[in-house]
Amino acid sequence: MFLKIEKRISPAHDVNKLFLWSSQIIILASSTYINPLFFFINHNHFFQTQKPITSFKPKLLTMRSSTLFLMLALTFSAVFVSAQVGDYTDVDQSDWDNSDYQDNLQVGLAKLVNVVISEGKIDPEDTTWRVLEIYSIQTQVVSGINYRYNVSIINEANSTDINATIVVYNDASGDAPTLSNWRYVIHALYVPLRPLSVVNTNRVINQLLNLGANRVVRRVQANGNAPADETFTLKYLTDAQVRSFYPDNYFYRFSVGFAGDNNGTITSNFIVNYNTTSHVATFGWYSYVYTP
């Protein structure tokens, strides 16, 4: 857009009384970005030849007019700048598979994983991730384009997912897109342990299973829900799962069944926490059903 405002005073006056003032403001704007504003303000003063030049006093009107036009120009600049930075616009779901959106998403996610690794939140070897779900894609026009994604990704072992909001900036000049903003939440997921056996070949898992089983029986009897003189034996393991919090915390969840020597039974679910650095195991949450 090109806007030119020009004001001139006709010189058709006595040269001894003539005051010529001219101002030009040229405002240049682009449809994609804001060019700086250039101001050309020229003051041509015709003074009386009979008086020495040192007696010249600038007109107050000239100063006020210059200030007025400068304020108007600054106002135009603020309006143009605010118009160039738009709000985020939702991308229709039917367009999510467009290569433009997918390419920027992959760049952003790769950079996000590197950030999470650098912050010590996931294993540095855990570098293979896939998109679990895309919740929304939005774009914003700035000097380039911001792509904002709400997305969930999961690692190759299906043991950790990350819910994230990322902003990928692309200036459309051929430079690589950049990850300009992000926030994320990590969820550790339970994965099954196999094979299921009350005597596990893994010594640590076997110890954790028996630790939790013994604690369950003691608490059931301490609560008065099972006879204190009845002996219960771990008979079966119906499920075993583990989830890990990098770097060294593991939560083992077991579903088990006990048989008592007086024909009572206990079914229970419980969790044992284990730290691989300190080698400390802690009995956690549990539930149970006792049947006489």
Residue 263, CA distances (Å) to 212, 229, 230, 235, 259 in order: 22, 13, 9, 13, 7
DSSP-derived 3-state class of residue 203: helix
Burial class (CB in 10 A: 0-12, 13-18, 19+), 53: exposed
The per-residue pLDDT for 71 is 61
Averaged pLDDT, groups of 10, the chain, 292 residues long: 37 40 37 39 40 40 52 53 72 96 97 96 94 97 95 96 97 87 97 84 90 97 95 95 95 97 96 97 96 95
Instruction: Compute the distance between CA of residue 97 and CA of residue 99 in angstroms, rounded to an integer.
Output: 6
Q: Which helix (H) or strand (E) holds 100?
A: helix 99-118
Could you tell me the two tokens for 267? Answer: 């079914």
Query: For 139-157, b where at least 16 C-beta lie within 10 A, e where not — what string?
Result: bbeeebbbbbbebbbbbee
Q: Which amino acid makes up residue 34?
A: I
The per-residue pLDDT for 198 is 81
Count Cα neighbours of 66 within 13 Å in the Cβ-side half-sphere.
12
The per-residue pLDDT for 199 is 76
Enumerate helices (H) and strands (E) in the chain, giving the number of each. Answer: 3, 13
The per-residue pLDDT for 74 is 57
Burial class (CB in 10 A: 0-12, 13-18, 19+), 291: exposed
The per-residue pLDDT for 65 is 55
Could you tell me the two tokens for 63? Answer: 């100063």
Largest CA distance in the chain: 130
The per-residue pLDDT for 73 is 56
Burial class (CB in 10 A: 0-12, 13-18, 19+), 255: middle
The per-residue pLDDT for 1 is 36
Q: Cβ distance 273 to 246 under 8 Å?
A: no
Interacting residues of 151 by C-beta distance below 8 A, sequence separation 6+? 105, 109, 131, 132, 133, 134, 135, 163, 164, 165, 166
Query: Looking at the DSSP assignment, which residues form a beta bridge with residue 197?
Result: none
The per-residue pLDDT for 251 is 97
Pairing verdict, β 129-141 and 145-155: antiparallel
Q: Which helix (H) or strand (E) holds 221?
A: helix 203-222
Instruction: Compute the distance between CA of residue 135 and CA of residue 90 in angstroms, rounded to an integer.
Output: 11
Structural domains in the chain plus CATH codes? 2-84 (no CATH), 89-189 (3.10.450.10), 192-291 (3.10.450.10)
The per-residue pLDDT for 181 is 97
Residue 265, CA distances (Å) to 37, 151, 228 in order: 84, 46, 13
Q: Which helix (H) or strand (E) holds 84?
A: helix 60-84
